[in-house]
Amino acid sequence: MASGGTSGVAPVSDAGPDSGIMPGSVPSAGCGKAWTGATGMWVPQPTGCPSPRLTGGYAAINDNQGTAVCQAIPPGGTVPATAAEGTPEYRGWWVYVPNGYDPTKPHTVIYNGAGCGDGNYFTAGEFGYAYNTVDGGNAILVGLDYDTFSYVPGCYDSRDPQSNDLAFMPWLMNEIEGTLCVDTTREWMSEYNNAEPSLAQQFDCAFPARLRGQVLVGGSEPGASSYLGTLPPCNPAPTAAFYVRDFNDTDNPYVNILPGCSRVLQQNGCINTKCDPLDTTLTTPYPVPSGVTLPAGASCVKFIGCPAEYPVAFCVTYNQGPGNDQNWGVDTMFWDFISGLSPASSGTTALPPCPTPTFEPPAGAIQAGSDVVISAAGLPAGGEILFTTDGTVPTRNSPPYNAGAVGIQVNADETFHAISTTMGVTCTDSAVAIAGYTIE
């Protein structure tokens, strides 16, 4: 890595998964499906999306917009030939499926964000923390490539609503859940970020109900102090969290993470919502697992008064530069935290259904040239209506309805199918609405 992140250590093979299924697991749609890709190594996805490691070099000035085999984000968006900040883009990702992978066993998933600054945007996904060396083969790892058009080159995008990362993450979670056997109560976000606002902080604000928790080194709350980025409207669902921050960080001041930590304490229903890990009246020591030797002066604590299912832990280090965390075992520390938490007793947080779309005028006979308006009253911010006119049921890849109050002109007999969706962020996909029109 060029400016931090974890050290680029080639992953080693894991020992294979342990047996047994954790009580309370909720299997994903991918359980029972065979995985045909390689195991015990990082594999770029989707197949054919540019991979410098497997193709021997990919020189495209960090721009894969001409490679339509990659996934268009936002889903269903049309990627322009010359894309720019905030426009749709093609995205890729990486997966690490453990040796001995059992497609009938729901696995923990860790979505891994690398540190910013790698010179190649498309290998960043495999340079997060090396959990495969400490997890006993029990986790599926998913590496996130950079947002090609982030306002910070070689990084992720913490703006709202311009960030394609906010659209990419819920889509990617659905893709992983549908492809691999995932325990949907044990999906985690891991990130290292030394100089910019935190992607993880956006996610634990926008869709904490999709994530069991986050583990984070560095970073800051988007909008904290003078740092760029803005938060979306926050969902108040709880989420477990573990922060590691250096008190003497000069690139990204320590205080910039505190507002986000305080927000999570509030979301979790903790008795105290002040985030001050150095205040011994608010915290209790966090037990450091075997294999971890904290650097000089460092301390790790857990905040008092939080639900046992949603703890908030915090380690403060001193004079630790970018990339030093692996030297003392932060990946072991984080895996101990992740594996030590059982699924929340309620399973994944139940989401309400999105509102079913309605049509105006109602279905029936209309005059040629009439406009049909599709709406979904009460659809949360960031949601959209997707529709079809070919008789098929809409999916999340169907065209979005963008006609607003003007509507779609109908000049021949037509049948519309429509759903509303937030891609699983704040509500589940709505029931399918159908309206058939005949020309008078």
Residue 126 CA from chain centroid, whole number:
15
Pairwise CA distance, residues 22 & 343, whole Å:
8
Helices (H) and strands (E) counted in the chain, each on its own, are 6, 19
Does residue 189 surpass a pLDDT of 80? yes
Calculate mean pLDDT across residues 311-333.
Answer: 86
pLDDT of residue 79: 83
Fold match flag (42-340 vs 358-439) = no
Pairwise CA distance, residues 141 & 334, whole Å:
14
Calculate mean pLDDT across residues 252-270.
Answer: 93
The residue count for the chain: 440
Half-sphere exposure of 193 (CA within 13 A, CB side): 32
What proportion of the chain, given as a percentage, has pLDDT over 70? Answer: 85
Does residue 396 surpass a pLDDT of 70? yes
Does residue 104 surpass a pLDDT of 80? yes
Return the CATH class of domain 42-340: alpha beta
Does residue 135 surpass a pLDDT of 50? yes
Pairwise CA distance, residues 196 & 115, whole Å:
10
DSSP string, 133-146: GTSTT-EEEEEEPP
Right CATH number for 358-439 from 3.90.660, 3.40.50, 2.40.128, 2.60.40?
A: 2.60.40
What are the Cα distances from residue 301, in Å, to 109, 190, 269, 276?
25, 19, 18, 10
Q: Which amino acid is at 394?
A: P
Q: What is the pLDDT of residues 8-56, one digit of tens each?
A: 333 334 545 554 555 678 899 999 999 999 999 999 898 877 655 444 4
pLDDT of residue 423: 75
Domain boundaries, the chain: 42-340, 358-439
